[in-house]
Each structure stands twice: as C-alpha cells, then as structure tokens.
Amino acid sequence: MADCPMLTGCPFFNDKMKNMPATSNIYKRNYCRGEHTKCARFMVRQTVGPEHVPADLFPNQRERAETLIKEKEQG
Ligand code: SF4
C-alpha cells in the first residue's frame, strides 16, 4: 500500500478540517498511508475534480462520495 499522492495539500491529512474525528489517526493510517483509492475525498477528486470535494467530506464517507459523484456525472 502506498501513500496518497495528495498528502501534502490535503486538509484532512494536515488537520485543517473542522470537527476532525477522534478516529482521524486511524483514517490517516488506513486511507492516507494505505488504501487511498477508497478515500471519499480521493474518489471525488479523481472522478469529478478537486473543485467538487466538499470542505467537510471525511475519508470514510464513501457513500456520500458515491452519491455526489453520481449527481455530478448526471449533470
Ligand atoms: S487519502 Fe484522502 S484524506 Fe488522505 S490525503 Fe488522500 S485525499 Fe486526503
């Protein structure tokens, strides 16, 4: 498993998001330094573009990401 290519600029990884979850270190290990392709933020960024990543989207919110992606893809 590899580090996410977004580590440096990512607000989640750099603790810049409001209401950081208590489990953020676990998410960082599992997503940011692990399976980043399963991260909700990464998924939205890769499929519909960085400008569509909600400021408050956390890595584990995959369902929310999928809904958002579907909405954007349907225009
Ligand atoms: S895995 Fe997600 S939260 Fe972590 S650095 Fe990449 S885009 Fe950011």
Kindly give the distance from the C-alpha atom of residue 54 to the centroid of ligand 1, in angstroms, as a whole number. Answer: 13
Say what the pLDDT of residue 1 is.
Answer: 73
Backbone angles phi, psi at 26, to 5 degrees: -70, -45
Q: What are 50's two structure tokens?
A: 């960085």
Q: Report the nearest atom of ligand 1 relative to the CA of 40.
A: 2
Can you tell me the mean pLDDT for 4-12? 97
Domain membership of residue 37 (yes or no) is yes
Domain membership of residue 36 (yes or no) is yes
Can you tell me the mean pLDDT for 34-55? 97
The preferred substitution site among 29, 42, 48, 58 for testing ligand 1, maximizing ligand atoms within 8 Å of CB, is 42
How many domains are there within the chain?
1
Q: What are 15's two structure tokens?
A: 């603790």
Say what the pLDDT of residue 40 is.
Answer: 98
Domain membership of residue 2 (yes or no) is no
What is the pLDDT confidence band of residue 58, given thresholds at 50, 70 and 90?
Answer: very high
Domain membership of residue 55 (yes or no) is yes
Q: Which residues line ligand 1 (CB under 6 A)?
A: 4, 6-7, 10, 12-13, 31-32, 36, 39, 41-42, 59
Query: What is the span of the domain harbouring residue 44?
Result: 7-73
Domain membership of residue 62 (yes or no) is yes
Over the range 39-69, which residues count as b (16 or more CB within 10 Å of their CB) and which as e? bbbbbbbeebeeeebeeebbbbbeeebeebb
Domain membership of residue 1 (yes or no) is no
Domain membership of residue 18 (yes or no) is yes
Helix residue ranges per DSSP H, 1-75:
24-27, 40-48, 62-73
